A = this chain, B = another copy of it.
Amino acid sequence: MKQQMVAELRQIVGSSYVMDGLEDRICYSFDATFRDFPPDVVVKPGSVGEVAAIVKLANRYQVPVTARGAATGLSGGAVPVKGGISLVLTRLNKIIEIDTANRLAIVETGVITEDLVTAVNQAGLFFPPDPASAKTSTIGGNVAECAGGPRGVKYGITRDYVLGMEVVLPDGSVVELGNKFDSEMAGPDWGMLLVGSEGTLGIVTKVYLKLIDKPNAKQTLLAIFSSLDDAAQTVSDMIASGTIPTTLEIMDNLTIRAVEEFLKVGLPVTAEAILLIEVDGSMASIGKQAEHVMRVCKKCGATAIQAASTPEDIDKLWRARKAISPACGKINPTKISEDATVPRSQIPAMVRRLREIAKKYDLKMVIFGHAGDGNLHPNILSNKHNQEEMARVEQAVEELFQAALDLGGTLSGEHGIGYMKAPFLKWETGEIGFAVGKKLKDTVDQQGILNPGKMFDL
């Protein structure tokens, strides 16, 4: 039966876009998490029509379909845990239109985030969501996981920019959901259900995205602290003080040292923590905002504050931020990256809990992340071949999720649920919420074709 299905897939997309050899299946068996689940076959459609035909075929053969973009995901959303078809959407990579009059971009799902950002920038507008993986991640993947990024503090996350979308439903029919224009609102916004749904409710093939004004000016600051608690308190005080920076990133000492070792950009390796802060806005307002930021940092105990004055200095700081993941990867081979998120006022408490957890389970944990919107990235650096250590990691991760929920937070700020957090989703939704989610999933996807084993399907 598999050979027959593969032959039909070749007819739909052409032979060169169907791969079922072992080496190809292995290449598509993982994302940026640490477990492998090979699909039975990898298919790369070139149009929404082909996506629809593949989904119809999958219904006929009762085979799972798991959509995949660039697979930079940190929760395992694109990994085909039940095998079947890995539906790779990277060929749908056209920026269809940047409509400056209506401040809207229409893009295919496989467009790379940075390509869109660049095109929008050239058109004189601004698309804020900036996941660290922007150079490779696709818009479809950002939508599927509701990706965020440093600018989330001020500008919000992917869902704040999704107006509508074209979707292939689990039965292979094609529908437009949501609102093409910002001000539309006719009935419940079904489109929003697809944001963060990891391809469990439909395959997003085209997205309508909201664009905004470009800020005229920005200022980047580096605040240095001799205590992680002081840095965390600064974040909380900053937000409460009424000035929302564009970015408000925290890095603890272990993170600073890892990055400096990796990149040699002159980070202060003896600091217990740094905050990387950017403010933007009109030329006129920037100076005042920066002054305010410095005032709050000093009040909370910053030992030094540096303003990056040249484009090179600014670039250096951001390269440092973006190098955290590869830098940590060099320390230990297996990096468990979490994104449990708490109310901004609870950042100091969460940082304390994280350090207790790392100590309790004797694990190497770096703490960094988008502190400004409560979205910390505790990363546990370990080795997946050390089973005893991985057992401790597992316990620590559970405790970390519980800590976030205890503090009024959430399992995920931007990485999604994937196979890694699916077992914990019920802690967050509660029994009733989970039951509603499951009932809706079962209604939309009656055959259970789309990305089984994720979200509400355990």
Residues of chain A at the chain B interface (Cβ within 8 Å): 99-103, 124, 146, 148, 152, 156-157, 159-160, 169, 173-177, 179-190, 192-197, 200-201, 213, 236, 239-240, 242, 244, 281-282, 284-285, 288, 341-345, 370, 373-375, 408-414, 416-417, 421, 425, 428-430, 432-433, 436-437, 439-440, 443-444, 455-456
Contacts and interface: CB of A to CB of B under 8 A. Distances in A.
Contacts of A425: 186-187
A143 B111 CA distance: 33
Given A188-B437, A281-B282, 15 more contacts: A101-B240, A102-B344, A146-B185, A157-B183, A157-B185, A159-B189, A169-B436, A183-B373, A183-B374, A184-B410, A185-B196, A185-B414, A185-B416, A186-B428, A282-B285
A175 B430 contact: yes
A421 B187 CA distance: 10
A240 B101 CA distance: 4
Contacts of A152: 183
A412 to B, nearest CB: 5
Contact of A187 (B173, B184, B345, B437): B437
A188 B433 CA distance: 11
Contact of A244 (B99, B213, B239, B433): B213
How many copies of this chain are found per oligomer?
Answer: 2
B344 A185 contact: no
B196 A188 contact: yes
Contacts of A444: 436, 439-440
A189 B193 contact: yes
A410 B185 contact: yes
A360 to B, nearest CB: 25
13 contacts: A99-B343, A100-B240, A102-B344, A148-B183, A152-B183, A156-B182, A157-B183, A181-B373, A183-B373, A185-B416, A186-B428, A188-B200, A190-B433
Contacts of A414: 183, 185
Contacts of A189: 159, 192-193, 195-196
A456 B430 CA distance: 28
